[in-house]
Chains A and B, each alone.
Chain A
Amino acid sequence: AQKITQTQPGMFVQEKEAVTLDCTYDTSDPSYGLFWYKQPSSGEMIFLIYQGSYDQQNATEGRYSLNFQKARKSANLVISASQLGDSAMYFCAMREPFYGGSQGNLIFGKGTKLSVKP
């Protein structure tokens, strides 16, 4: 069965520094997708970045990059130049395989609470 693990319940980072949020996954399917979402205190879930299992390069979106290590089954989110507005919960998610009637629903980790210090 697919599983997402986020081992850091909480992280602190100094403003303007970089931070890495860990995510490991478990799947036997060769085709999968990994997502990161941000959940600020207001509650909405904001899509940040996506990495496909067959993508040759690590995904990047502005200050967000994904350190994808396929052999280790890890997909860590790197946030560069942290800002106060980055303080939020961050969730890693994996798409279920496309078989058995599934349309690829997302399986979420428990999240990491990031606090950016001024």
Chain B
Amino acid sequence: NAGVMQNPRHLVRRRGQEARLRCSPMKGHSHVYWYRQLPEEGLKFMVYLQKENIIDESGMPKERFSAEFPKEGPSILRIQQVVRGDSAAYFCASSPKGRISGANVLTFGAGSRLTVL
């Protein structure tokens, strides 16, 4: 009965490299959300996906960032040509259905901490 699994937990990249963060939602959950947490800040929404579809990417930077949730396998958050400002904790959350509510709360993973040197 695993929860939301994220890997890697820690990732170090040099400027200009690519970072790939993976998220496997809870069993039975088909809705995946990605949030970013900068130091000393709360989480900020990036993107919301269902299987094979991006539903809302209003919080995603227009360049270098992309996300996918294929039919098979985990959701991937991809950051190309990383810069120091990308250093943050990236959290994935999942829910059994859309429309977050008290009956449909987000379950978060432990996060992936990206450090850009």
- Which residues of A pack against B, CB within 8 Å? 4, 33, 35, 37, 42-47, 50-52, 91, 93, 95, 98, 101-111
Contact = CB atoms under 8 A, between A and B. Distances in A.
A51 B55 CA distance: 26
Interface in B29-48: 31, 33, 35, 40-45, 48
A110 B41 contact: yes
Given A42-B110, A103-B99, A108 B43 contact: yes
Q: Among the interface residues A43, A50, A101, A102, which one has the most CB atoms of the partner chain B within 10 A?
A: A43
Contacts of B55: 103
B8 interface: no
A43 B89 CA distance: 9
A103 B48 contact: yes
B102 interface: yes
Interface residues of B, number: 30
B101 A52 contact: yes
Contact of A111 (B42, B58, B107): B42
A104 B101 contact: yes
B25 interface: no
Nearest to B109: A44
Contacts of A35: 105
A105 B100 contact: yes
Given A91-B42, A98-B99, A110-B40, A105 B33 contact: yes
Nearest to A46: B108
B91 interface: yes
A33 B104 CA distance: 11
4 A-B pairs closest in CB distance: A108-B42, A45-B108, A50-B102, A44-B110
A43 B41 CA distance: 13
A44 B40 contact: no
Nearest to B43: A108
